Amino acid sequence: MKIEDFFQPLADMLTTMTADERIVAINTLKQFLHEQSPFNEEPVDCILWVKADMVAANDYNPNSMAPSEKRLLFTSLDTDGYTQPVVVCKEKGQYIVVDGFHRSLLGKEKKILRTRLKGYLPVTCIRDSQSGKTDRIAATIRHNRARGKHQIMAMSEIVRDLSRLGWKDDKISKELGMDADEVLRLKQLTGLTELFENGAFSEAWTVK
The tens-digit pLDDT sequence of the chain (208 residues) is 788 888 999 999 999 999 999 999 999 999 999 999 999 999 999 999 999 999 999 887 656 777 878 888 999 999 999 999 999 999 888 999 999 999 999 999 999 999 999 999 999 999 887 777 778 877 877 776 655 555 555 677 777 777 777 778 888 777 777 778 877 877 777 655 444 445 444 444 444 4
DSSP at 126? P
Which residues belong to CATH 3.90.1530.10 in the chain?
43-126
At 179, give phi and psi (nearest 5°): -90, 170
Tally of residues, the chain = 208
Side chain identity at residue 175, one-letter code: E
Helix axes 133-146, 169-176, angle to 10 degrees: 50
Whether domain 43-126 has CATH 3.30.365.10: no
- This prediction has a pTM of 0.70
Q: Is the dihedral of CA 104, 105, 107, 108 positive or negative?
A: positive
Would you say 165 and 134 are in contact if contact means Cβ atoms under 8 Å apart? yes
